[in-house]
Chain A
Amino acid sequence: MILEGTAREIAHAVNAREVSAVELADAMAERIAERDGAVGAYLARTSELARAQALRVDAAIRDGKTFPLAGVPLALKDNMCLEGSPTTCGSKILGNWVAPYTATAVQRLLDAGATPLGKTNLDEFAMGSSCENSALGRTRNPWDLGRVPGGSSGGSVAAVAAGEATVALGSDTGGSIREPAAFCGVVGFKPTYGRVSRYGLIAFASSLDQIGPISKTVEDAALVYDVMAGRDTMDATTAERDVEQTSLGLREDLRGVRIGIVAEFGLDKLEPAVRAVYERAYADLERLGAQLVEVSLPTADYGVATYYLVAPAECSSNLARFDGMRYGLRVERPDVVATYEATRAAGFGDEVKRRILIGTYALSSGYYDAYYVRAQKARTLIAADFAKAFASCDAIACPAAASPAFEFNAKSDPVSMYLMDYYTVPMSLAGLPSLSVPCGYVKPAGAAGPLPLGLELSTPLFAERSLLNIAHAYERATRHLEAERIPLLSSAVSA
């Protein structure tokens, strides 16, 4: 069935009128109804918007037009605005807010023919690494329903992994696309900061947030990226640079490519089974013709500490607008200040409050220089370390996460959760393009079945084409996604 196909295959079939966008939208809506009770990927289904869009696409195709994403079923992380859709950020504070406008990146996918099936779950305001911080529901990892999907883009990643969407959009601030993609065995790609417009993405940390694709193949990620990347007059931080087409003519070997292995990210810290998967991944890169070189990122160890000052500082200001005055939840009290306090106390969850407090403190007079300014300096040093490392390599390879998906409530201490971002945060601070591609499986005792791991690949700023090329060659040679069946899907298909 074409519903199992990649975005490229689906778009081809719809453009060729072998199947209509409406048929696909209906079939996918039906599948979501069947499966999502178990997975919980979606917070809201937008079947009517999807159907209306599919009808428009079908009509245009009958008029002879073609679309790069014709009829491709799309899931959107619920921190992105889609006009007419409830938009919650996984928080109670937005109440029943319905977005009155559409995010630029989303609009570009719609213009390319994709059909928006729904809005997916996330850690509240994208703050978290397991999706457990959502105030609105639990998303389960399709590989093992007792485990987290990762976060914060847990819903989008679970939707693609469970076949409830062909592609999805996530947002990545410190690893929120890459870590869950690794946990759910799909491709998750964070482009260079400034490549994809943030207009309509509800801000967590403005200097780090970046929208990116989640897909079953690197080629699909490239296809979605090509459609949405580029300057947007509504976002002053988008780069004034031409975007190279990445989805056409991707190479399938790595001859002449130098891959940096980070000395400070030594695999000896990992569980033996996990370590074995990454050792084999590095060996596979070499087998494909890449030259492995050791590089050093001496300041990378400060990544998490730096990130957890910069991101909360920005979030403390970005989330100030949620005050019960103009939209969303309002807990009425006799005066304005009491209403603010009651609304925010009731509307935000613990992790969001924790970060607002940390950020407010870091920006306070008397502490600003010691925390915020120092963190910005560390950020500059981390970026400089990457620039130095890229003098001797074309890309850096490392684990996307130190472990496979963990069980619910396994990380109740916030710092242990923050450390999940260890391998992803340095690239975010440096603004680099970075992705996670499936690289193998481990089968821990007690797990329902195999659990996927992700290889993180990163390249210099704006070197998306090189990044996608390397990831594509690796994926085509290893075919890890095809190696194992997701237990959930086996049972769903047999049911």
Chain B
Amino acid sequence: MEEAKAAVVINGTPYEAVMGIECHVELKTETKMFCGCLNIFGAEPNTNVCPVCLGLPGALPVPNQLALELMLKAGLAFGADIPAFSKFDRKNYFYPDMPKNYQISQFDMPLTQGGTVTFWLDDGTQGSCRLTRIHMEEDTGKSTHASHDGRIAGSTYSLVDFNRAGVPLMECVSEPDIRDAASAVAYLEALKRTFVALGVSDVKMEEGSLRCDVNLSLRPLGATEYGTKAEIKNMNSFNSVGRAIESEIARQAAILESGGRIVQETRGWDEAAGVTHSMRNKEQAHDYRYFPDPDLTPMEFARHDIERLRSELGPLPQARLDRLILEDKLSVVQAHQIVDKPGLAGFYEAAAEASARPQATVNFLLGDLSRLANETGVAVSASGVTPQALAELIELTEAGAINSKTAKDLIARLWSAGGSPKTIVEAEGLGQVSDSGAIDALVAEILAANEKTVTDYRAGKGKVMGFLVGQVMKQSRGKANPQLAEERLRAALGDGGGSGT
């Protein structure tokens, strides 16, 4: 368990922030939850619709089995329990972008219960947050209000796009285990990388495929009762989640500091202003009149189906991160960079195992290889560099057989043409020249050709040494050992420091 730390001190008393997060995640299925319409973002409005997702009279829902399996997998990835029995319920309320004026959801028998999300923070500590449940919902349509600011107030009409209506949504509800903004963001990132790895969702907040609400309250450190909470909505990036939390903690603290009381309400995050504003308070709460949807039969999950899904999970990002950080001793930032880039983790693991040098592997991967990937638009794993080739390259560098310049050049060659670094180095004589006799000959040549520089050096301009080493390297076509070249230059110039005094 984490040690409790104060988020804020109010009139001398340390307070902690208590947060639970509800996430709505759009599933990456080919078709919608209850009909055969395509589930794609950005199509012409009202083109991916049918009688079912438009809620036309007489139409009936039929569950998308793949969507249900994806949600079960999401739960299994966090160690959640899959009850033997689950069902769909109707949540009844009127809204113009909800075609049936009820939403098919789950009330008291969710698909999964429990589970724990663990995450690493940049300072190297580890955190965790328990999941309450994961359940299925269908998404609504999307309203566009014809007003100057896009809000319903003051609009003369509204347009509704039902392409999103019936898209499978997974709602993940957490326990109130989160205490600070960094943990909230790390929790969301942990969800994201797991859902992406499982193919559950692409988790793009900007496209609305992940929406989250944070319930936040303050209480004196050590108290067991919860304070009155506010629900914060409308954050459109992980960064804004962090900012909204900081802002809300400050707002609630200011109220408490001045002796006020927190009102239970829903607050919207205003990205531009950097503050939350009140949307509605609890008195307007709906009675949703949940009841089992009679159009859908209850679901029963057989043990062997659950075990099959468990076996299909594949390597989970959280386990990878733990290994990278705890065994390979990578920094949290490096480990996240490796695991969060598609295809990079597998490449890293193969190369680090072959070379037995994780830090050198990660340096190449996040350095030269990532730069090449950015420049060429080709993924590292799709380039000509294989994990084995990278391991050979690391071996050659670490053994001093090639210098870093050669290594850089070789990576660029391998990227486009492939091949084995050892074979290339041997065939083309690219091995580093560390023979003092050979280097002395080069040094003599360079000094003879650069009399003015030699004079400058002797007059005390020590920094021209860099130029002279560069000339030796150039003359050797990059193969000279640069440390040795400098050493022999200084010897030839007759001093050890070059300060020229």
B336 located at the interface, meaning its Cβ lies under 8 Å from any Cβ of chain A in the complex? no
Q: A317-B102, A321-B101, A363-B291 are in contact. Are A100 and B51 (CB under 8 A)?
A: yes
The answer, among A89, A233, A368, for a CB contact under 8 Å with B57, is: A89
A contact residues around B296 at 8 Å (CB):
236-237
Which residues 22-63 in B have Cβ within 8 Å of A in the complex? 51, 54-63
B contact residues around A101 at 8 Å (CB):
51, 56, 58-59
- Complex Cα distance, B35 from A236, in Å, reads 11
The answer, among A97, A198, A327, for a CB contact under 8 Å with B60, is: A198
Closest chain-B Cβ to A396's Cβ sits at a distance in Å of 25
The answer, among B102, B291, B294, B297, for a CB contact under 8 Å with A368, is: B291
The answer, among A94, A97, A313, A336, for a CB contact under 8 Å with B291, is: A313
A contact residues around B60 at 8 Å (CB):
198-199, 234-237
A contact residues around B85 at 8 Å (CB):
none
A contact residues around B297 at 8 Å (CB):
236-237
B118 located at the interface, meaning its Cβ lies under 8 Å from any Cβ of chain A in the complex? no
- Complex Cα distance, B94 from A340, in Å, reads 9
The answer, among B99, B291, B295, for a CB contact under 8 Å with A236, is: B295
A81 contacts B54, C-beta separation under 8 Å: no
The answer, among B57, B90, B100, B290, for a CB contact under 8 Å with A87, is: B57
Max chain A CB contacts within 10 Å: which of B60, B90, B297?
A: B60
A325 located at the interface, meaning its Cβ lies under 8 Å from any Cβ of chain B in the complex? yes
Nearest A residue to B34, CB-CB: A236
B452 located at the interface, meaning its Cβ lies under 8 Å from any Cβ of chain A in the complex? no
Nearest A residue to B158, CB-CB: A336
B287 located at the interface, meaning its Cβ lies under 8 Å from any Cβ of chain A in the complex? yes
B477 located at the interface, meaning its Cβ lies under 8 Å from any Cβ of chain A in the complex? no
A80 located at the interface, meaning its Cβ lies under 8 Å from any Cβ of chain B in the complex? yes
Q: A235-B62, A236-B62 are in contact. Are A317 and B99 (CB under 8 A)?
A: no
A206 located at the interface, meaning its Cβ lies under 8 Å from any Cβ of chain B in the complex? yes
Closest chain-B Cβ to A461's Cβ sits at a distance in Å of 15
A206 contacts B295, C-beta separation under 8 Å: yes
B303 located at the interface, meaning its Cβ lies under 8 Å from any Cβ of chain A in the complex? no
Say whether chain A's binding surface is mostly helix, strand, loop, or mixed: loop
- Complex Cα distance, B36 from A233, in Å, reads 11
Nearest B residue to A87, CB-CB: B57
A199 contacts B59, C-beta separation under 8 Å: yes
A contact residues around B101 at 8 Å (CB):
320-321, 323
A200 contacts B291, C-beta separation under 8 Å: no
B289 located at the interface, meaning its Cβ lies under 8 Å from any Cβ of chain A in the complex? yes
Nearest B residue to A233, CB-CB: B62
B291 contacts A372, C-beta separation under 8 Å: yes
Closest chain-A Cβ to B376's Cβ sits at a distance in Å of 47
Which residues 305-352 in A have Cβ within 8 Å of B in the complex? 313-314, 316-317, 320-323, 325-327, 336-337, 340
Nearest A residue to B291, CB-CB: A363
B343 located at the interface, meaning its Cβ lies under 8 Å from any Cβ of chain A in the complex? no
B132 located at the interface, meaning its Cβ lies under 8 Å from any Cβ of chain A in the complex? no
B462 located at the interface, meaning its Cβ lies under 8 Å from any Cβ of chain A in the complex? no
Which residues 91-147 in A have Cβ within 8 Å of B in the complex? 94, 97, 99-101, 103
How large, as a class, is the contact surface on chain A?
35 or more
Q: A101-B51, A236-B297, A326-B99 are in contact. Are A321 and B57 (CB under 8 A)?
A: yes
Q: A236-B63, A237-B295 are in contact. Are A80 and B58 (CB under 8 A)?
A: yes
- Complex Cα distance, B93 from A360, in Å, reads 11
The answer, among A233, A314, A364, for a CB contact under 8 Å with B294, is: A314
Closest chain-B Cβ to A375's Cβ sits at a distance in Å of 11
B58 contacts A320, C-beta separation under 8 Å: no
A327 contacts B56, C-beta separation under 8 Å: yes
- Complex Cα distance, B295 from A321, in Å, reads 15
Closest chain-A Cβ to B209's Cβ sits at a distance in Å of 25
- Complex Cα distance, B102 from A372, in Å, reads 18
A202 located at the interface, meaning its Cβ lies under 8 Å from any Cβ of chain B in the complex? yes
B58 contacts A206, C-beta separation under 8 Å: no
B92 located at the interface, meaning its Cβ lies under 8 Å from any Cβ of chain A in the complex? yes
- Complex Cα distance, B290 from A360, in Å, reads 11
The answer, among A99, A198, A314, A323, for a CB contact under 8 Å with B94, is: A323
B96 located at the interface, meaning its Cβ lies under 8 Å from any Cβ of chain A in the complex? yes
A490 located at the interface, meaning its Cβ lies under 8 Å from any Cβ of chain B in the complex? no
Which residues 291-314 in B have Cβ within 8 Å of A in the complex? 291, 294-297
B contact residues around A336 at 8 Å (CB):
96
How large, as a class, is the contact surface on chain B?
20 to 34
Q: A317-B92, A320-B102, A323-B101 are in contact. Are A360 and B57 (CB under 8 A)?
A: no
Nearest B residue to A339, CB-CB: B96
A234 contacts B94, C-beta separation under 8 Å: no
A365 located at the interface, meaning its Cβ lies under 8 Å from any Cβ of chain B in the complex? yes
A360 contacts B96, C-beta separation under 8 Å: no
The answer, among B58, B92, B160, B290, for a CB contact under 8 Å with A81, is: B58
- Complex Cα distance, B432 from A264, in Å, reads 104
The answer, among B61, B62, B94, B295, for a CB contact under 8 Å with A320, is: B94
Nearest A residue to B51, CB-CB: A101
A contact residues around B61 at 8 Å (CB):
236
A contact residues around B295 at 8 Å (CB):
203, 206, 236-237
Which residues 461-491 in A have Cβ within 8 Å of B in the complex? none
- Complex Cα distance, B90 from A372, in Å, reads 14
Which residues 20-69 in A have Cβ within 8 Å of B in the complex? none
The answer, among A79, A81, A198, A365, for a CB contact under 8 Å with B289, is: A365
B58 contacts A363, C-beta separation under 8 Å: no
The answer, among A201, A317, A372, for a CB contact under 8 Å with B58, is: A201
- Complex Cα distance, B55 from A99, in Å, reads 13
A207 located at the interface, meaning its Cβ lies under 8 Å from any Cβ of chain B in the complex? yes
- Complex Cα distance, B289 from A327, in Å, reads 25
- Complex Cα distance, B58 from A364, in Å, reads 25
The answer, among A198, A202, A321, for a CB contact under 8 Å with B100, is: A321
Which residues 50-84 in B have Cβ within 8 Å of A in the complex? 51, 54-63
Closest chain-B Cβ to A211's Cβ sits at a distance in Å of 11
- Complex Cα distance, B99 from A323, in Å, reads 10
A103 contacts B96, C-beta separation under 8 Å: no
The answer, among B58, B289, B290, B294, for a CB contact under 8 Å with A103, is: B58
Q: A317-B102, A320-B100, A321-B100 are in contact. Are A234 and B289 (CB under 8 A)?
A: no
- Complex Cα distance, B291 from A314, in Å, reads 9
Closest chain-B Cβ to A238's Cβ sits at a distance in Å of 10
B57 contacts A317, C-beta separation under 8 Å: no
- Complex Cα distance, B288 from A316, in Å, reads 12
Closest chain-B Cβ to A494's Cβ sits at a distance in Å of 42
A contact residues around B63 at 8 Å (CB):
236
B contact residues around A322 at 8 Å (CB):
57
Nearest B residue to A93, CB-CB: B57
B contact residues around A81 at 8 Å (CB):
57-58
B contact residues around A237 at 8 Å (CB):
60, 294-297
A202 contacts B57, C-beta separation under 8 Å: yes
Nearest B residue to A376, CB-CB: B292
A contact residues around B96 at 8 Å (CB):
323, 325, 336
Max chain A CB contacts within 10 Å: which of B94, B96, B291, B296?
A: B291
Which residues 140-172 in B have Cβ within 8 Å of A in the complex? 160
Nearest A residue to B93, CB-CB: A320
Nearest B residue to A310, CB-CB: B294
Closest chain-A Cβ to B95's Cβ sits at a distance in Å of 9
- Complex Cα distance, B55 from A233, in Å, reads 17
B contact residues around A201 at 8 Å (CB):
58
Closest chain-B Cβ to A389's Cβ sits at a distance in Å of 25
Nearest A residue to B296, CB-CB: A236
Q: A317-B289, A336-B96, A364-B289 are in contact. Are A206 and B294 (CB under 8 A)?
A: yes
Instruction: Give residues in A with beta carbon < 8 Å to B.
Output: 79-81, 87, 89, 94, 97, 99-101, 103, 198-203, 205-207, 233-237, 313-314, 316-317, 320-323, 325-327, 336-337, 340, 360, 363-365, 368, 372
Given known contacts A100-B56, A198-B60, A326-B55, what 15 new A-B pairs fall within 8 Å (CB)? A80-B58, A81-B58, A200-B59, A203-B57, A205-B294, A206-B294, A206-B295, A235-B62, A316-B92, A317-B102, A323-B94, A323-B96, A327-B57, A363-B92, A363-B291
> Can you identify 13 A-B contacts, CB atoms within 8 angstroms?
A94-B57, A101-B59, A233-B62, A235-B62, A236-B295, A237-B295, A320-B100, A321-B55, A321-B57, A323-B94, A323-B101, A326-B54, A340-B94
